[in-house]
């Protein structure tokens, strides 16, 4: 799968699917979807470097206006195609709820130490609300809902906590990959 070729072989596709299979037996991304995603990846990777750079992501206006774009850019930094598909596999309709919650956890846990602290949650809340809530109010709201759920300001949440908290939510996190 070189940078210059735009043709994927069957072998390449299977390699990508294997890479996605980390926590499940069946890859949530179909072969057709991988082909479409590869076309998209090549379209975004304008300089053919094998990975999509920050400016190339930000040249998509719909992405640039998203409040979480900076956080996601840190997760997308330097991903090659295999990793790109693995990243997006959480948004497949066939992905399990567990996979989706894991993805959300990773967005909070940017430094990948397996723990989400009060500050991480505050950072995300700040990205989502901007200057429309004062910093003090944000801290108050977050502390309030944490305590109501049985945690404290100093609690470090792990993936299991996220699964417990979000497991009962209606999680609609699906994007359809257009297949020609």
Partner 1 sequence: MRKLKSSSSEMELDRPNIEEYLPIESIQHHHENLRLRDLLNISPTLTEAAGAIIDDSFTRCFKSNPPEPWNWNIYLFPQWCCGVVVRYGILFPARVLVLTLGWIIFLSSYIPVHFLLRGHDKRRKKIERYLVEIICSFFVASWTGVVKYHGPRPSMRPKQVFVANHTSMIDFIILEQMTPFAVIMQKHPGWVGLLQSTILESVGCIWFHRSEAKDREIVARKLREHVQAIDSNPLLIFPEGTCVNNNYTVMFKKGAFELGCTVCPVAIKYNKIFVDAFWNSKKQSFTMHLLRLMTSWAVVCDVWYLEPQNLKPGETPIEFAERVRDIISVRAGLKKVPWDGYLKYSRPGPKHTERKQQSFAESVLRRLEES
CA 62 distance to own-chain centroid: 16
Nearest by Cα to 101 from 170, 55, 53, 29:
170
Residues 17-36, interacting with partner 1 (CB under 8 A): none
Q: Per CB under 8 A, which region of 7-15, 17-25, 41-49 contacts partner 1?
A: 41-49
Phi, psi values for residue 110, rounded to 5°: -65, -35
Tally Cβ neighbours within 10 Å of residue 151: 16
Which parts of 67-106 interact with partner 1 (CB under 8 A)?
67-69, 72, 76, 88, 91, 100, 103-104
Does 119 help bind partner 1 (rule: CB under 8 A)? no
Residues numbered 137 to 176 that lie near partner 1 (CB under 8 A) are: 137, 141-142, 144-146, 148-149, 151, 162, 165-166, 168-175
Does 132 bind partner 1 (CB under 8 A)? Our answer is yes
16: Cβ–Cβ under 8 A, 6 or more apart, which residues?
A: 29, 34, 81, 82, 85
Backbone phi, psi, residue 18, to 5°: -65, -40
Q: How far apart are CA 58 and CA 64, in angstroms?
A: 5
Judged by beta carbon, residue 4 or residue 25, the one nearer partner 1 is 4
Q: Which residues bind partner 1 (CB under 8 A)?
A: 37, 40, 43-44, 46-47, 53, 55-69, 72, 76, 88, 91, 100, 103-104, 107-108, 121, 124-125, 128-133, 137, 141-142, 144-146, 148-149, 151, 162, 165-166, 168-175, 177-178
């Amino acid at each position: 799968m070189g940078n210059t070729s735009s043709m994927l072989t069957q072998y390449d596709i299977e390699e990508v699917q294997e890479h996605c299979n980390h926590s499940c037996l069946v890859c949530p991304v179909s072969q057709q979807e991988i082909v479409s995603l590869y076309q998209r990846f090549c379209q975004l990777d304008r300089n053919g470097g094998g990975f999509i750079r920050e400016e190339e992501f930000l040249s998509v206006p719909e992405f640039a206006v998203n409040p979480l774009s900076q956080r996601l850019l840190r997760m997308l930094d330097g991903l090659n195609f295999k990793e790109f598909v693995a990243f997006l596999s959480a948004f497949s309709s066939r992905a399990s709820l567990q996979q989706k919650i894991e993805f959300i956890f990773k967005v909070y846990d940017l430094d990948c130490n397996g723990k989400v602290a009060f500050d991480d949650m505050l950072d995300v809340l700040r990205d989502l609300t901007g200057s429309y809530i004062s910093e003090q109010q944000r801290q108050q709201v977050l502390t309030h809902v944490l305590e109501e759920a049985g945690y404290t300001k100093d609690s470090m949440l792990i993936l299991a906590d996220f699964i417990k908290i979000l497991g009962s939510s209606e999680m609609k996190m699906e994007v359809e990959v257009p297949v020609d």
